[in-house]
Amino acid sequence: MLHSRAFKVSVAWTLALLWLGSLVHATESSLACPDWPTCFGTMVPEMTGGVFWEHLHRLVAGGLLLMWGLATWLARKEAADRPWVFKAALVGAALLLVQSLFGGLTVLYRLPDWISTTHLTLALSFLALATFLASATSRAADAADDDAVDPGMRRLAVAAPALVLGQSVLGGLVRHMDAGMACPDVPLCLGQVVPPLINAPITAHFLHRVLAVIATAAVIALAVRARREGTPEPVRRWAAAAAGLVLVQAGLGIASVLTVLAVIPVSLHTLGAAALLAALVHLATLAFRVGRSTPEQAPTAAAMVA
């Protein structure tokens, strides 16, 4: 199934694009190209300094548009018996186009917080949709047996990616507000468990930490529940992987503060959040596909994951 492979490539491509976007911000290269869609009036600028990161980010984004176009065309050709796959791919194409437009607005309006955060939110939403399509059309999903996943496990499988998505969006807001060092100490914030929430940067940073604790607890609870007897092996395996990722992600968040927002931990922190979201969406898709033999039921799972 070439369309499933194309969806998987798109997921990996999106993860790379999100990482590059984080590098652009961490290296203060967001306005290295002051115009859009060109860079200093050309599509082939001199790739030096911040221009290298900013224009490379644009080129990779353009490549993702082409890759998703191929995946959508293959879905229409190969998945005629499952028209929802093609329709969902069209939704993904629309998300990509709108997300690209917000990328341009980010530059033209000089990095306003709400536009930049919307740009990231759309990218993460596209990642979730692409991961769902890659998972739902994979051989692993098609070969799902009749093993049951209990309702509590399914509820956690939906709640965990939703929490991680919200946490990632809030993290993007913290980044674009330049609030990454609003709480310069760890695990306390300004020396207190609950700091004085006297301004937007401190409030956003503190809420980011609070939601991080909640999201981490949800992912760990998911992994613990998945170890119960009778849970299908793929679900157990991905729950354990998600638990490992969320612990690494927490460590990268701490490292980002302790290193005063050094480029490597900050960029890896963004990549870790995206990878964790993708792993959890894949897990949720498996949890709802297991025991369901008819592909027409897959959109129900998609709606619950979204």
Tokens of 24: 């652009």
**Confidence at residue 300, expressed as pLDDT on a 0 to 100 scale:** 43
| Sign for the pseudo-dihedral over CA of 53, 59, 65, 66 | negative
d(CA 46, CA 50): 10
**Confidence at residue 215, expressed as pLDDT on a 0 to 100 scale:** 97
User: Considering the entire predicted model, what is its pTM?
Assistant: 0.92
**Confidence at residue 164, expressed as pLDDT on a 0 to 100 scale:** 97
**Confidence at residue 296, expressed as pLDDT on a 0 to 100 scale:** 43
**Confidence at residue 179, expressed as pLDDT on a 0 to 100 scale:** 96
Per-residue pLDDT of the chain (306 residues; tens, 9 = 90+): 889 999 999 999 999 999 999 999 999 999 999 999 999 999 999 999 999 999 999 999 999 999 999 999 999 998 888 899 999 999 999 999 999 999 999 999 999 999 999 999 999 999 999 999 999 998 766 555 445 678 888 999 999 999 999 999 999 999 999 999 999 999 999 999 999 999 999 999 999 999 999 999 999 999 999 988 778 888 999 999 999 999 999 999 999 999 999 999 999 999 999 999 999 999 999 988 764 434 444 444 444 444
